[in-house]
Chains A and B, each alone.
Chain A
Amino acid sequence: MSQTEYQTTRVEIAGENALILYFGEKTDPAVSAKVQQAVDALETVLADVLIDMVPSYASLLVIFNPLACDHLEVRRRIRTALSDQAAGEASEGRLVSLPAYYSTESGPDLEDLASRANLSVEEVIKIHSEMEYRVYAIGFAPGFAYLGEVDERIAAPRLSTPRQKVPRGAVAIADRQTAVYPAVSPGGWNLIGLCPTRMFNPDATPSMPVQVGDRIRFEPIERDEFLSLGGEL
């Protein structure tokens, strides 16, 4: 990242021990790559004062220990770290394949979504599984990864009444975002299938198969394979 590029990064106060860095204003893979690059750089230069970081679409929240330093010192280190960074070093992230059993049985909103989009169910599945998605953010619930962006043709607004209970593994769409529900929870996204891969397993290391910056592809599988991979209907 060059000096001029750093100037496009805004650093704002978030709280008594937190600064937030803004790298852009919208969902954009290039902006997300900058966020990821900053995460890697700051992990090193803030190691002795860092409490936690929260990367998201176009921002990075940096939480520091106020008894070890102050916001001016943190700002100074951030400025140095970001201006020292060479351009074009953003990692592509790993490509992770997630199996998905798309069907009207596993995706109760698939038919509705298809008819509203004037597409067949098969076309919706094809469009959703042909795209590569970027992990923009992780939050809402442990292991919930916000993936973007789905093709405009299959973008769909949230349900007017959220479901009380979305099953674990539900593959879902809201606007141009898609995600896999890591656990049973309420939710208003459109459900189009089920993924047998656990998105959050507290007993596994790592506890999540993906991290911010990774790329995801959904691989359509049949009912039998879904069940043999441990999926539940």
Chain B
Amino acid sequence: MSGFKVLQPGLLTLIQDAGRIGQHRIGLTTGGPLDSNAFAWANRLLNNDGNATALEISIGGLVMEAQCDTYIVLTGAAMPLKINGTEQEGWCAHKVQAGDRIDVGFSSAGARAYLAVSGGFTVAKSFTSTATVTREGIGGLNGEKLQQGDILPAESAADQQVYRLPEAFRPDYTAAVSLRVITGYQQDAFSDVQKRLFFSSEYKVTDRADRMGYRLEGPQITPSIDGILSEGICHGAIQVPADGQPIVLLNDRQTIGGYPKIGSMIAMDTARLTQLLPGSAVSFEEISIDAAHNLRCLEQARFARTEPEAL
């Protein structure tokens, strides 16, 4: 079996494809990349299928040895990439050969980077997807984050056309973010005063921010109800438990829950949120479902039309 040998796994490196869908009815969550935009670019710069399996590297610290000749690309957070000790550009495909050492350092901006390989890592699917959800012990090599000594299977790739995304098109993870929220679910359980407080205040990302949800800290929001009959939770839903501190539910969320929810953050913005480190400040902005739909379609069109440079 050829592929990549993990010399150092980093803080949290997970095998992910675009996510596990259609499995909520047996209690399985979605998984998949927290920053779907950076993930999509990683695959596109190698001409991969959009659902090809890549690595999500949180914070950094991954070291691997290539065991085959192929191409790699690193997108997302600004983690220094070195091949055999020589620094290489992110958002740009690079050829690697068997025996090469690939070093992904710690991020200077952003929290998640995506490392893709030509053709994707060839990992067996579990419930239609390779996405790792450690809480469920599903996906990846064995339901766990990468471990030292793991072999990530990949095929050798013949010479092929690969790409670089010009800097002008890359996201700026240091920019201030206003996160757009569609009010919905139990929004009526929040008075106008509480909603105004939520949408006019600054919140901070706490250190209890993981793939399941980002707990934020700021002015306390009080719903008029304690809890609800457990119901389905969609991606980006913002639940407000008894302490009044909002939690944005993400890819590894539980599929059902009983806390009141003020609404849901749009996926473009959960992608930005999950690039933030604890202590970062965020604010919220209300958006209609129609405006959110337009943004989603525009984002898709922009992604399709942005031409990376051929190398």
Binding site for B on A (CB under 8 A): 12-18, 20, 25-27, 51-61, 63, 66-67, 70-71, 137-144, 146, 183, 200, 202, 206-208, 211-212
A contact residues around B126 at 8 Å (CB): 202
A15 touches B300 (CB 8 A): no
On whether the beta carbons of A56 and B26 are closer than 8 Å, the reply is no
Contacts A53-B24, A141-B135 known; 7 new A-B pairs at CB < 8 A: A15-B184, A52-B22, A59-B232, A60-B232, A67-B297, A139-B256, A183-B137
Most buried by B among A13, A63, A140: A13
Q: Which residues of B contact A211 (CB under 8 A)?
A: 25
Does A16 lie within 8 Å of B266, measured CB to CB?
Answer: yes
In the complex, chain B residues whose CB is within 8 Å of the CB of A183: 137
* Contact A61-B289, Cβ < 8 Å, known A13-B184, A27-B229: no
State whether A139 touches B255 (Cβ < 8 A): yes
Pair B21/A51 contact, Cβ less than 8 Å: yes
Looking at the complex, which one of A67, A137, A206 makes contact with B230 (CB distance below 8 Å)?
A137
A179 to chain B, nearest CB (A): 11
Q: Mark B290-311, 1 if CB is under 8 A from A, else 0.
A: 1011001100100000000000
Most buried by A among B27, B126, B137, B184: B27
Q: Which of B257, B264, B293 makes the CB contact (< 8 A) with A18? A: B264
CA distance A183 to B127 in the complex (A): 17
- Is B27 touching A140 in the complex (CB atoms < 8 A)? yes
The 0/1 profile, CB within 8 Å of A marked 1, for residues 218-231 of chain B is 00000000000111
Interface centre among A55, A139, A211 (most CB of B within 10 A): A139
> Which A residue sits closest to B256, measured CB to CB?
A139
Q: What is the CA–CA distance of A61 and B290 in the complex, to the nearest angstrom?
A: 19
In the assembled complex, which residues on chain A have CB atoms less than 8 Å from the CB atom of B230? 56-57, 137, 139, 146
Asked if B138 is at the interface (CB within 8 A of a chain A CB), the reply is: yes
Closest 4 CB pairs of A and B: A61-B232, A54-B232, A15-B264, A139-B256
Binds A, one of B35-43, B89-97, B234-242: B234-242
CA distance A26 to B235 in the complex (A): 24
